[in-house]
């Protein structure tokens, strides 16, 4: 139960401002409802699109203020194992017990949603997921940040993709992929039309289906040769802790146009949707390398 509460906190941004009806549904259906609300949250109506966000990435509700915006957000200000972090490679600890990250995703048809803070894809249970320490974690959601949230030796990348996985008992593992500027990313190329539709939808307040066929594609099903592992938090309020991050250091390539495409549908104060790096506070970052 504790884990489920944590997960719901992690996915807090999904709840939006849809009020008591949504809260009741979430209590009843737990995670499933949370994710469904996320899907319907921004795509819904003109009224919702125009309501103020609970937090943003600049201005009066920017990251430095998150901890004071709402009592439920206090960990954003005083948590001791927050994300993202700057990974210093000469301080990471090799762990021979870590296993290869096997990704067993089945292509499914999904819908892409704009929640104004990021653009996300929610996945059904049959998508499959990853196995970590012998335990399965189902892929629940994928979203993007630009620029990157994590840094490696102080270097910030052009973008970062988070693939959020959840075990049956509510533990959360986020696989973070970094992107550097260069040729277009083939995965985002497949989503070009949907990103355009989302950008248009925000401007016109019209609904668009934004459905995507056969996702995730094969590019996201390979086994990475190296990853960093550490315990952190949701990088959005309420910044709940106890999440595991697997950060893939082999940066993929993304074009400048694609980075603009990630930003276009978002609210003006969320186009730069990367939380600053947080204090490491003695946490250990482990590394798996083939």
Q: Which residues bind Zn ion (CB under 5 A)?
A: 162
Can you tell me the distance from the alpha carbon of 172 to that of 132, in angstroms, rounded to the nearest whole number? 11
Beta bridge partners of 113: 120
- For 148-164, b/e burial (b = at least 16 CB within 10 A) is bbbbbeeebbbbbbbbb
Handedness of CA 249, 112, 216, 187 (dihedral sign): negative
Helix axes 2-10 and 31-43, enclosed angle (nearest 10): 10
- Least separation in angstroms between residue 236's CB and Zn ion is 7
Whose Cβ is closer to Zn ion: residue 208's or residue 272's? Answer: 272
Whose Cβ is closer to Zn ion: residue 10's or residue 288's? Answer: 10
Whose Cβ is closer to Zn ion: residue 110's or residue 164's? Answer: 164
Whose Cβ is closer to Zn ion: residue 61's or residue 162's? Answer: 162
Structural element, H or E, at residue 45: none
- Least separation in angstroms between residue 141's CB and Zn ion is 9
Can you tell me the distance from the alpha carbon of 238 to that of 229, in angstroms, rounded to the nearest whole number? 22
- Least separation in angstroms between residue 161's CB and Zn ion is 8
Whose Cβ is closer to Zn ion: residue 93's or residue 273's? Answer: 273
Q: What are phi and psi of 113, to 5 degrees?
A: -125, 150
Do residues 121 and 213 make contact, with C-beta atoms less than 8 angstroms apart?
A: no
Whose Cβ is closer to Zn ion: residue 150's or residue 162's? Answer: 162
- Least separation in angstroms between residue 156's CB and Zn ion is 15
Nearest residue relative to Zn ion (C-beta): 162
> Strand 172-181 and strand 108-114: pairing?
unpaired
- Least separation in angstroms between residue 29's CB and Zn ion is 23
- Least separation in angstroms between residue 251's CB and Zn ion is 17
Tokens for 114, please give them. Answer: 């704009």
Can you tell me the distance from the alpha carbon of 102 to that of 104, in angstroms, rounded to the nearest whole number? 6
Whose Cβ is closer to Zn ion: residue 162's or residue 252's? Answer: 162
- Least separation in angstroms between residue 176's CB and Zn ion is 8
């Amino acid at each position: 139960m504790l884990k489920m509460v944590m997960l719901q906190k992690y996915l807090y941004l999904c709840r939006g401002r849809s009020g008591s009806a949504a809260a009741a549904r979430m209590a009843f259906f737990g995670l499933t409802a949370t994710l469904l609300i996320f899907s319907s949250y921004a795509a819904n109506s003109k009224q919702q699109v125009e309501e103020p966000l609970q937090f943003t990435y600049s201005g009066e509700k920017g990251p430095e203020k998150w901890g004071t915006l709402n009592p439920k957000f206090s960990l954003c200000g005083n948590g001791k194992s927050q994300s993202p972090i700057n990974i210093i490679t000469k301080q990471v600890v090799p762990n021979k017990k870590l296993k290869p990250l096997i990704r067993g995703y089945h292509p499914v048809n999904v819908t892409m949603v704009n929640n104004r803070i990021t653009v996300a894809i929610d996945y059904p249970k049959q998508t499959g997921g990853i196995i970590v320490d012998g335990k399965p974690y189902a892929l629940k959601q994928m979203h993007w940040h630009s620029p990157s949230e994590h840094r490696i030796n102080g270097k910030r990348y052009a973008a970062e993709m988070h693939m959020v996985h959840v075990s049956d008992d509510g533990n959360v593992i986020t696989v973070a992929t970094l992107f550097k500027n260069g040729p277009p990313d083939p995965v985002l190329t497949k989503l070009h039309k949907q990103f355009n539709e989302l950008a248009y939808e925000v401007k016109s307040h019209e609904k668009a289906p934004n459905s995507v066929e056969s996702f995730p594609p094969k590019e996201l099903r390979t086994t990475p040769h190296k990853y960093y592992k550490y315990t952190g938090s949701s990088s959005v309020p309420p910044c709940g802790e106890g999440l595991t991050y697997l950060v893939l250091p082999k940066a993929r390539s993304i074009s400048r146009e694609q980075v603009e495409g990630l930003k276009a549908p978002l609210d003006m104060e969320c186009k730069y949707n990367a939380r600053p790096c947080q204090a490491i506070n003695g946490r250990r970052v482990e590394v798996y390398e083939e």
